[in-house]
Amino acid sequence: MTDTQQVQAAAVDPTTAAGTAQFLSPVVLGLEALVVNGKQAHWHVRGANFIGVHELFDTVVSHAQDWADTAAERIVALGLPIDARVQTVAAKAQATAVPAGFTQSDVAIRALIADIDAILVDVQAAIDGLDEIDLSSQDVAIEIKRGLDKDRWFLFAHLAA
């Protein structure tokens, strides 16, 4: 018979975990809302450069899904749950600018940029707040900001004259 070792979860300071959850939870919810709104825009976009914009929206959605997963997994890895159920995400996304139906590409792009700008406020708060709490969690927020800035730039390029 072999001996087995009990594996325990890494010891995490409860203050670190709570602080991380406080700052990254709004980011997760905002990103999940961007996923839903981005697909809405993707399905209903019309107008100039349709295929490019249609495909760019899918890229933005894919990135948002990945970043939401990264941030949520960081919270869970520190031992806390995250509430990203549909009703919680919907409450976070009440002020979305994405229209419900068919939309010209410039309007849809502006709406997704507005959603990204709202998330960036939460991401910057996470970067600032996590500086004194947990640098590994801050790195997650910095990675998300870097990516959102790039996606925002790609969207904005379709509007720039």
Lowest-confidence segment of 13-17, 125-129, 137-141 by average pLDDT: 13-17
Residue 7 lies in a domain: no
Residue 1 lies in a domain: no
Range of the domain at 140: 14-157
Choose among 151, 159, 51: nearest CA to 106: 159
Residue 13, pLDDT score: 85
Residue 83 lies in a domain: yes
Query: Quick one: pLDDT band at residue 161, thresholds 50, 70, 90?
Result: low
Question: Residue 121 sits in a domain of what CATH number?
Answer: 1.20.1260.10
pLDDT per position as a tens digit, 35-57: 999 999 999 999 988 999 999 99
Residue 122 lies in a domain: yes
Residue 2 lies in a domain: no
The count of structural domains within the chain is: 1
Residue 12, pLDDT score: 78
